[in-house]
Amino acid sequence: MARRTDSRRRMLESAAELFHAQGYHATGLNQVVTASGAPKGSLYFHFPGGKEQLAAEALKLSGGQLREALEHVLAEAPDAAGAIGAVVDLLSGLLADSGFQRGCPLAAVTLDAAADSEPIRHACAEGYDSWRELIAGFLTEQGLAADRAETLATVVLASLEGGLLLAKARHDTAPLRAVAEHLKAAITKELA
């Protein structure tokens, strides 16, 4: 018999996937319950705050998963330019493998619901901040001053987000590749 926490985890994972692909408003609670295979009555038991709580927790889960993937890529990178290339390869692969349905795991919900919900806005901001901090830490390790690394990490993250959005709209990873080439040149220049 599955433990109680298993149904909670399945709901979170299913919600994260659905919110990632569809956004907040297009994802219904019945859809999450069906996708998770959890008992219908368990939704409000596990998430008494309803859809808003479920979304905030699902965003934390998916944001954390992408951070772990980014940590791995950055740890394996030979240098900053190689890290940009590897991150873009990761993001391009995830996007293409989803048939251009899933870009950033936070973007759809950020655009869809963050302005209307403080818990959702906070979860989105927390995810983006964790990625930016990871990138800034990597750039500092590569030799940039901390304040410059913070600024450049924001530029890198915003550029990748924009590249993902354009790639998703065009069903073509070329925008991400163009962003990668520009970022590689800019970062190489900064580190010279």
Break the chain into its structural domains and give their ranges. 50-191
Q: pLDDT value at position 5?
A: 63
Distances (CA, A) of 163 to 8, 129, 158: 34, 18, 8
Q: What's residue 88's pLDDT?
A: 97
Q: What percent of the chain has pLDDT over 90?
A: 90
Mean model confidence pLDDT for the chain:
94
Tokens of residue 28, six digits: 């219904």
How many CB atoms neighbour CB 48 within 10 A? Answer: 8
Dist. CA 102–CA 8, nearest whole Å: 23
pLDDT for the residue 4: 52
Confirm if 56 and 119 have CB atoms less than 8 A apart: yes
In the DSSP assignment, the letter for residue 177 is H
Which pTM does this prediction carry?
0.92
- Point out the residues of the chain with pLDDT beneath 50: 1-2
pLDDT digits (tens, 9 = 90+) for 80-103: 999 999 999 999 999 999 999 989
Residue 41's pLDDT is 85
Enter the tokens of residue 85. 């290339």
Fold (CATH) for 50-191: Tetracycline Repressor; domain 2 (1.10.357)
Q: Structure tokens of 20?
A: 């990632």
The pLDDT of residue 76 is 96
